[in-house]
Structure 1
Amino acid sequence: MTESNTAQLSAAGVSIWLDDLSRERINAGGLQKLIAERNVVGVTTNPTIFASALAKGEAYDDQVALLAKSGVSVTDAVFEITTDDVTRASDIFREIYDDTKGFDGRVSIEVEPGLAHDAKGTIDQAIKLAAKVGRPNALIKIPATVEGLEAITAVIAQGISVNVTLIFSLERYRAVINAYLTGLEQAKAAGIDISAIHSVASFFVSRVDTEIDKRLDAVGTDEAKALKGKAGVANAQLAYEVYQQAFDTERAKGLLSAGANKQRPLWASTGVKDPNVLDTTYVVELIAADVVNTMPEKTLEATFDHGEIRGDSISASYAAANEVMDAIAAQGVSYDDVTELLEKEGVEKFIVSWNELLDTVTAALEAAKPSEVAK
């Protein structure tokens, strides 16, 4: 019997994580079904995902009613609701976590996006989230802003596993790896078991194409248009080269020999935005050992249905990927300007989603109050 495409992808070394979570999905067994039938071994969340989940259906009604009755603030209500979902999902994935010795079976929860430029606030909330969820397979998501780098080191140093999010540039990715290694060094010096600390670095893919393609269209030449849809994959392929180089240094080797784990690259934003680009592109072109691909369900189903899994599609690509990025630069498109803008926009978009989440919960709490009063 032929293996499914997602099974082949897993066999090629890619951990498939779902970029979605909702209480309805948990309650109805949808998460367990994707584990069994689509080789899903982890979940990531963000404010946008929770805002969408809370806006639909009735799965949160009972908890919202209890929270309304207790009179908690909206931010405390959001904290309770989101950590409950992550705790339950972590329990569902616990067997996978145990079987893979902590590499998979992971569920991520993000610090408030408004703290993206507040290192101390990020550190404090990361510790609070980890304690509240109370599961070893939880990952705390911290954005890769300059301030986030400081927080990553401090949180890793306390033995908390981290998913670093919103990485767009190779330079910032190198800084993220350095922050991780520094945190491991501090944890080791403090006597913390560094073999229990895991991390992934979420490198965003489709957003790079969206912004660069817009600029290539503005250039308008045939040469520029021929480069559309190529930057996201090339940038991620070169990120994998950075990963390989960074964990082959004497510094990294020393930590690994002491029991540390590599910080695996994670491909995020893998849903294709351009209808002219194959919907499985950010999966099939980014296959290599020890990577994570976190997919929206639409991309997951497309991969299962018609993804062409050809084995490692990264390791032999570095020269071609550099040629693509050099050709884009030759068209006058500034890589640094693009990646700086994408980080800024990424934080802003999550803040907008966070505010939508607060508004949704505020409305739900208000709607729940009259029935409680009536009782």
Structure 2
Amino acid sequence: MKITIVAGARPNFIKIAPIIRAIEQKQQEGIPLSYRLVHTGQHYDKNLSDTFFEELNIPKPDANLEVKSGSQSVQTANIMVAFEQELLENPTDMVLVVGDVNSTMACALVAKKMNLKVTHVEAGIRSGDMTMPEEINRIVTDSITDYFFTTSPLATENLIRYGAQPDAVHFVGNVMIDTLYQNQHRFQRPLFWEDFALEKGNYIVLTLHRPANVDEEDSLLHLLQGIDALAQGKKIIFPIHPRTKAILGERQLDTQNIVFIEPQGYLNFMYLVAHSFAVITDSGGISEETTVLGIPCFTLRNNTERPETITIGTNHLVGTQVEKLVETYTSFLQNGMKKAGIPELWDGKASERIVDILWQKRN
């Protein structure tokens, strides 16, 4: 059985690493299961792409489609054209996609039109926000998927409600958490740690990249100034996403606590998160990681496709207005962290379950 695995952006690399590891374990057991890894090139900056392959011991891709950037439509179209040729030249039994980026949807569409089975890892999550490109990618991908692997019972319920056959939906846990557990002992202190006098619990980690937060310069500046003011002497370590950096341009910000750094590799970034006082972010994936690490998280969005990080985990959904963030963060300082736990099956074994199920379904 041969599986073509697709990855295109930073979150994908984190998710495919344990799946590849689980397949290779099966190979060592003598099971005739193989894979071909295709990197679409959606993220092509070294700090957003190559570094993750190196740090997570992901094999060099068998193919890199090198589509790079462009509008949503241009990027999706370029991926589809290139991936179709890839499949024509390298036949496979199944295409496995992860997450909700453009590469996920584009490659699922191509595979289905070529009458191949489509497997979607992290299926069924929904934010309900159709202004998010990721939400559209999720819905389209799940509408043509053959095998669904979910991170939560709610995601499973979503799929059944939308018409998926129950025997095609499998609640297996969270592959991002597999990667976290497999690499937690390898987290690396960044080189700038001492330069900024960082210590465990004396700084906040900030990430911003979603259009609602970064696309309009004045509102982005207002947001950053508000975040800077709430720090109360703690440094705010901000690995600035290329998208956000481009919006700010050469503008000099009058902030006292925010430290701008380049995007970090997985091992450095996760060290920062694991040793932080709190995280402020608009990323869904980071709210999953903070939940497992027990780090308070404040998500600058009006909705989330990962509600278990709020109901069970350490996440607070605060909207996009900095005033609400300040209110919630102040309450946290006064009352301490809410009671939190780790969601069901987020135990580091999701990838093993996925590969076991796929092998069982090979016929």
Per the TM superposition, whether the score is higher than 0.5 is no
* TM-score computed with the length of structure 1 as normaliser: 0.31
Question: Bigger relative contact order, structure 1 or 2, given CA contacts below 8 A and separation 6+?
Answer: 1
